[in-house]
Structure 1
């Protein structure tokens, strides 16, 4: 362990004092599992917003947690440094059967399910017009050209599209992959995607109902994984990135397409967005934690005629494991 990963006696005592209170310990236990907003924490712990905000402020001052403003919302998560690791170690020592913490987890799961149901309802209602509704930024044509340029023109064996929606990326890269799988949580979206694939005659591509937080695919099984305009709909984008990285073969590439940070709050209210874009440094931190090397970042800025001012960013990262680590390929399991 390096000096940067350790704490002085004073810093350790300060961190322990900060977490040494029932509400703050409950907050740390929740944040060890997922990042939260004040609104989420208020609903889970059943306390007032000013009280929760005060406890979060004290935890942040002790460097146990970090706050990330995003439009009108602020997300809190455990810090990356030694203080954050100390918090994780403390939580790991607490019994999961503690009745207070178990009740917190139950309410947390209920909130998470309600948000997932809300998003599912949104997508079900808009499945047939989804591609048209994604015209709030530079043209999809330009985005697709940038994606093709990022991946290059060399063929690859297997392609995984997370949150495939109408299956558009399965069509875009059809001339490069040997087999492809699209995963989506919306049955309505998948119905549209299947119709589109049939119309395009793509028999080597399939779609499947699935959860981007818990992929039902073999690990280390795809050469390219794409996440196109999906992360901003998710409560926990880092969890989805972790699953995407797990699906990559050694040397495989992860292509992420999403919005740069913006202030368009109406996208939360009318379009079920959970995140108002992602900064370059935030995405780089997530990818580094997954041992992925960021190879390319491209910003597609809208022209003067687009009054929404939404910039689309492409991140291309590569699994740093060397290809010689790859076990014998089981092609029968690539697309079930």
Structure 2
């Protein structure tokens, strides 16, 4: 029960759980194995690390949440566990913040080249207005800002990234925002860890210019989009700011608006709206594409 409560509050590794519970590694690992087999806890691999959290979508997620709710809020053992959890999360936050501080100047430099990010975020929210979102995916989640922005609008949201440092920062950010329906995972934008037609809404925000195969990223996003789902891409228009490729690892010098539409249509998506936010020297374009609704085929009436 202590493990269930802790995993309901945060994604934790075995070493972190050992630190909180004061139990041996074999004992903690055995209980985690049993809880995973019972479908009460999810297990996720992130490089050489393994994270555990309360089952949130698969398995016996409703039973898991009900069991956690049965634990008295004033239980002294649980209260002590949660105090130790706070210390673990603070250490994690300090490490993530240090990484962010080391790189903040580089991100700030790029953001100074185009319109305020809040203007981009307004249009991202507008792109999903009136849409019911069960499953939301943020490809290249970075700091987790898009999860913070969209998390409350979805039943279940996942952000993927290839950087463990960025995932650590994003994990801290969404936990601080108490977005328990949100998760971050190590994942490849060319090979998403999801089955076909499993996502209602997908965002690729300021990520495509890092891709050496941007069309394949669009195709992979289209693969996991449900019929009637929506893909939103935000990135730069063609530009000549050469040091972004030299100093910031940009593989693409922006994208022509029609080229991205061609990629979307080739992937089976329908063209929707686009928004252009002119900046100096960088202009941001937002593309909103749709997956076609499935046609209902009626049988012959005898």
Are residues 1:192 and 2:192 paired?
no
Q: Is the 8 A contact 1:184 1:209 kept in 2?
A: yes
Residue 285 (structure 1) shift: 1.1
- In 1, the alpha carbon distance for the partners of 2:241 and 2:277 equals 17
Residue 125 (structure 1) shift: 8.3
Corresponding residue for 2:127? 150
Secondary structure class of the residue paired with 2:289: strand
Q: Is the 8 A contact 2:271 2:290 kept in 1?
A: yes
Secondary structure class of the residue paired with 1:181: strand
- In 1, the alpha carbon distance for the partners of 2:296 and 2:121 equals 31
Q: Is the 8 A contact 1:158 1:224 kept in 2?
A: yes
Corresponding residue for 1:231? 208
Are residues 1:316 and 2:288 paired?
yes
- In 1, the alpha carbon distance for the partners of 2:220 and 2:137 equals 12
- In 2, the alpha carbon distance for the partners of 1:132 and 1:155 equals 34
Q: How does 1:246-285 map to 2 (within 5 A)?
A: 246-285=223-262
Check 1:216–1:265 CA distance in 2 against 1; reply closer, same or farther (3 A cut).
Answer: same
Q: How does 1:161-200 map to 2 (within 5 A)?
A: 161-200=138-177
Are residues 1:217 and 2:194 paired?
yes
Check 1:126–1:314 CA distance in 2 against 1; reply closer, same or farther (3 A cut).
Answer: farther
Post-superposition Cα deviations, 1:179-203, rounded to whole Å, max 9, x if no partner, equal 0000100111100000101110110
- Of the three residues 215, 220, 229, the one matched with 1:243 is 220
What is the TM-score of this pair, normalised by structure 1?
A: 0.56
- In 2, the alpha carbon distance for the partners of 1:134 and 1:200 equals 26
Secondary structure class of the residue paired with 2:152: coil
Are residues 1:159 and 2:136 paired?
yes
What is the TM-score of this pair, normalised by structure 2?
A: 0.62
Give structure 1 stretches of 5+ with no counterpart.
1-123, 303-307, 326-336
Q: Is the 8 A contact 2:100 2:169 kept in 1?
A: no
- In 2, the alpha carbon distance for the partners of 1:168 and 1:185 equals 16
Secondary structure class of the residue paired with 1:173: helix
Size of the aligned set, in residue pairs, is 197
Post-superposition Cα deviations, 1:248-296, rounded to whole Å, max 9, x if no partner, equal 0011110000001111111111111010110011111101101101111
- In 2, the alpha carbon distance for the partners of 1:253 and 1:324 equals 20
| Aligned-residue CA RMSD (Å) | 1.9
Q: Is the 8 A contact 1:131 1:166 kept in 2?
A: no
Secondary structure class of the residue paired with 1:255: strand
- In 1, the alpha carbon distance for the partners of 2:295 and 2:171 equals 33
Q: How does 1:115-134 map to 2 (within 5 A)?
A: 129=104, 132-134=108-110
Secondary structure class of the residue paired with 1:146: helix
Residue 152 (structure 1) shift: 1.1
- In 2, the alpha carbon distance for the partners of 1:264 and 1:203 equals 39
Residue 322 (structure 1) shift: 2.0
- In 1, the alpha carbon distance for the partners of 2:124 and 2:254 equals 18
Q: How does 1:293-308 map to 2 (within 5 A)?
A: 293-302=270-279, 308=280
